[in-house]
A and B are shown apart, each in its own frame.
Chain A
Amino acid sequence: MSKIQRTAVLIILILASAAIIYPIFYAFASAMMTSAEIDSYPPHIFPSGFNLDNYKSVFAVVPVAQFLLNSFVVAIAITVGHLITASFAAYAFAFIRFPLKSFFFALFLATIMIPWEVTMIPNFLTIRSWGWTDSYWGLILPFLATGFGTFLFRQFFMQLPKDIFEAAKMDGMGHFGIFLRIALPLTRSASVTLAVYSFIGAWNMYLWPLLITNEESMRTVQIGVTMLQFEDFTSWNLVLAGLALMMLPPLLLLVLGLKQLVGNLTMGALKG
């Protein structure tokens, strides 16, 4: 590429970055503005100072701490659940011989094809009949199994050198031992990829918590977000301070886990 081309590309990329980052920047910048700043016209793009008062106030207006706690409990439980169910199932598909294996593999593939809206009404009725609305159980249990995660782990397991397993078997190790002491430690990047992916997904859940939580004390951040918006007494800087707090955990996770996601994400998706 010539110098002119390279500069043109750079300018395009900078403009695209500005456009993509702007809504996120807007939330964090407005969260630091005073009420006078946010109501002024023409509007301010940057806050006048590093002002964290809104964060303090938002905790007083809505139970943000409770929402955050609920979301952390739910997202961590689902993430751990995914790691356990997916790694076990993937190990079975990769290393264990059992009858009807291809049938079960097809069954796991089929799970990806069923849109969850189709299961939503019966699941709602089930959870309600068990009295699990407004409970962590109701928010967590329906989401513990994952087809995507299973394929991701299987792909990583298949790439491990076969002789390690032969040697372990010679030493008298059983499947449990091989799974815990060899397969899992050698595929840590699969665990990290799935953990980042599952945590972000669980943190982002919207429709299901909307259906099965009514009490304020059980709401997750995504539902709490809309509460913030409908409280008339809150001004925008408070709303956006709440939003900023709520999207910080997944954003931080992305910054830490980006390297793992790049390169590994397509594995579960494509080569399963």
Chain B
Amino acid sequence: MTSRLRKFKEAAFGYGFLLPSLAGFSVFLFYPFLKSFYLSLHSMNPRGQIVEFVGFDNFIDILTSDHFYQSLKTTFFFALLTIPACIFIAVCLALLTYKKNKINLIFQLIFASTIAVPIGNASVIWKLLFHPTAGMFNYFLSLFGISPVGWLTNPAYALLSVSMMTVWISIGFTYLLLLSGIKGIPEDLYESAKIDGAGSFSIVRRITLPLLSPVLFFISVISVISALQSFSQINILTEGGPVNSTNVVVYDLYQEAFVNYRFGTGSAQAIILFLIILLFTIIQFRLSERKVHYS
């Protein structure tokens, strides 16, 4: 075989092996991604057919409405209520339970368990727990003499309640990632630190956390992305209410496109969401350049 033929055959194998993935991505990711830009510049009828080209009108409509900024504010607030709390709890739990022994194995299973609880199931369970008269949360409060709280019905508490549930369900995945990350740190680093007389806290501060920074960075990036995309728990727990207090961007987008059948403005909203997520990801990458240690 000539070397050119061999190279050609090699390349054919390469593309052949990529083909299944590329086909999937092309039809259901790249094409619709570009199509979204196209649709966002058009007005569409409820059957999903293009009516006319409207330029940036859809974007102007969205960006000049108070409603949009309200849902954006709610989304950011939701991200602030959920991400720091979730990461803080997961880091503490991971640091306290990463060592190999029988009792930690049980703790690990429990702390990771919420990764396996489907968000639809979790939302319905929490909805029952939050129930104003028959829910367990208000019952537990009553044991301490605290009067019932309108967890999901009071606009002042609804977003906080949804956030509590979200922190709970996110802990499993965050904890598992951290645990994986800690296991990747070589044992001898701890040993030498101990020989140098470092205490538990200073080992955590000087060795574990810096070496975990790539994992922590990854977690913070995907946490922001997934917080900005939250939908299921909102749809089941509050449907955006009461008085719009939990109307996050994706819920609003879902309403616009699949309840009001305005696919054009829906697409424009999706593009804006994409740009916001991209912006946050870029900012996080920039910030991390100085702070993340790759070994």
Q: Tell me the nearest residue of chain A to B120, going by C-beta.
A: A222
Flag if A250 contacts B116 (CB, 8 Å): yes
Flag if A254 contacts B113 (CB, 8 Å): yes
Tell me if B271 is interfacial: C-beta within 8 Å of chain A.
yes
Q: How far does the alpha carbon of A243 sit from the alpha carbon of B129 in the complex, in Å?
A: 14
> A20-B110, A145-B20, A229-B124 in contact; A119/B29 too (CB < 8 A)?
yes
Chain A residues within an 8 Å CB radius of B22 = 89, 104, 145
Q: How far does the alpha carbon of A21 sit from the alpha carbon of B168 in the complex, in Å?
A: 10
User: Chain B residues in contact with chain A, CB under 8 A?
Assistant: 7, 10-11, 13-15, 17-25, 27-29, 31-33, 35-36, 39, 48, 89, 93, 96-97, 107-122, 124-129, 134, 136, 139, 168, 171, 176-177, 179-181, 183-184, 200, 214-215, 218, 225, 228-229, 231-232, 235-236, 250, 253-254, 257-258, 263, 266-267, 270-271, 273-274, 277-278, 281
Q: Tell me the nearest residue of chain B to A271, going by C-beta.
A: B214
Tell me if A114 is interfacial: C-beta within 8 Å of chain B.
yes
Flag if A121 contacts B25 (CB, 8 Å): no
For the complex formed, measure the closest distance between the CB of A265 and the CB atoms of chain B, giving whole angstroms: 5
Tell me if A118 is interfacial: C-beta within 8 Å of chain B.
yes
Chain B residues within an 8 Å CB radius of A143 = 28
Q: How far does the alpha carbon of A117 sit from the alpha carbon of B272 in the complex, in Å?
A: 11
- Can you sample 10 A-B contacts with CB below 8 Å? A20-B114, A21-B113, A24-B113, A97-B14, A104-B18, A108-B25, A117-B253, A120-B270, A262-B176, A266-B177
Tell me if A141 is interfacial: C-beta within 8 Å of chain B.
yes
Tell me if A122 is interfacial: C-beta within 8 Å of chain B.
yes
- Per-residue contact bits, chain A 1-41, to B (CB 8 Å; 1 contact, 0 not): 10000000100110011001101101100000000000100
Q: Which of A39, A96, A121, A203 contacts B17 (CB 8 A)?
A: A96
Binding site of B, secondary structure by majority: helix, strand, loop or mixed? helix
Q: How far does the alpha carbon of A265 sit from the alpha carbon of B263 in the complex, in Å?
A: 37
Q: Tell me the nearest residue of chain B to A251, going by C-beta.
A: B116
With A88-B17, A97-B11, A261-B176 given, name 11 new contacts (CB 8 A): A13-B97, A92-B15, A122-B31, A123-B28, A126-B28, A142-B28, A150-B21, A243-B121, A250-B116, A262-B112, A270-B215
Q: How far does the alpha carbon of A246 sit from the alpha carbon of B111 in the complex, in Å?
A: 20
Flag if A111 contacts B177 (CB, 8 Å): no
For the complex formed, measure the closest distance between the CB of B242 and the CB atoms of chain A, giving whole angstroms: 18
Tell me if A61 is interfacial: C-beta within 8 Å of chain B.
no
Q: Tell me the nearest residue of chain A to B89, going by C-beta.
A: A16
Q: How far does the alpha carbon of A107 sit from the alpha carbon of B257 in the complex, in Å?
A: 28
Q: How far does the alpha carbon of A150 sit from the alpha carbon of B116 in the complex, in Å?
A: 22
Q: Which of B17, B24, B36 contacts A91 (CB 8 A)?
A: B17
Tell me if A255 is interfacial: C-beta within 8 Å of chain B.
yes
Flag if B21 contacts A108 (CB, 8 Å): yes
For the complex formed, measure the closest distance between the CB of A26 and the CB atoms of chain B, giving whole angstroms: 6
Q: How far does the alpha carbon of A24 sit from the alpha carbon of B218 in the complex, in Å?
A: 28
From A43, A96, A126, A200, name the one whose CB has the most chain B CB atoms within 10 angstroms: A96
> A101-B14, A117-B229 in contact; A144/B117 too (CB < 8 A)?
no
Q: Tell me the nearest residue of chain A to B269, going by C-beta.
A: A117
Tell me if A269 is interfacial: C-beta within 8 Å of chain B.
yes
Q: How many A-B residue pairs have CB under 8 A?
A: 261
Flag if B125 contacts A243 (CB, 8 Å): yes
> A89-B20, A128-B48, A206-B119 in contact; A20/B171 too (CB < 8 A)?
yes
Interchain residue pairs A-B with the least CB separation, the first 7: A98-B14, A145-B24, A122-B32, A222-B120, A92-B17, A119-B32, A254-B116
- Per-residue contact bits, chain A 80-118, to B (CB 8 Å; 1 contact, 0 not): 010011101101100011110100100110010111111
For the complex formed, measure the closest distance between the CB of B124 and the CB atoms of chain A, giving whole angstroms: 5
Q: Tell me the nearest residue of chain A to B10, going by C-beta.
A: A97
Flag if A43 contacts B120 (CB, 8 Å): no
> A117-B273, A142-B28, A226-B124 in contact; A17/B111 too (CB < 8 A)?
yes
For the complex formed, measure the closest distance between the CB of A211 and the CB atoms of chain B, giving whole angstroms: 6
Tell me if A225 is interfacial: C-beta within 8 Å of chain B.
yes
Tell me if A204 is interfacial: C-beta within 8 Å of chain B.
yes
Tell me if A263 is interfacial: C-beta within 8 Å of chain B.
yes
Chain A residues within an 8 Å CB radius of B89 = 16
> A115-B273, A119-B29, A266-B177 in contact; A203/B118 too (CB < 8 A)?
yes
Flag if B120 contacts A96 (CB, 8 Å): no
Tell me if A125 is interfacial: C-beta within 8 Å of chain B.
yes
Flag if B263 contacts A23 (CB, 8 Å): no
Flag if A175 contacts B17 (CB, 8 Å): yes
Chain A residues within an 8 Å CB radius of B254 = 207
> A98-B15, A266-B177, A270-B215 in contact; A122/B36 too (CB < 8 A)?
yes
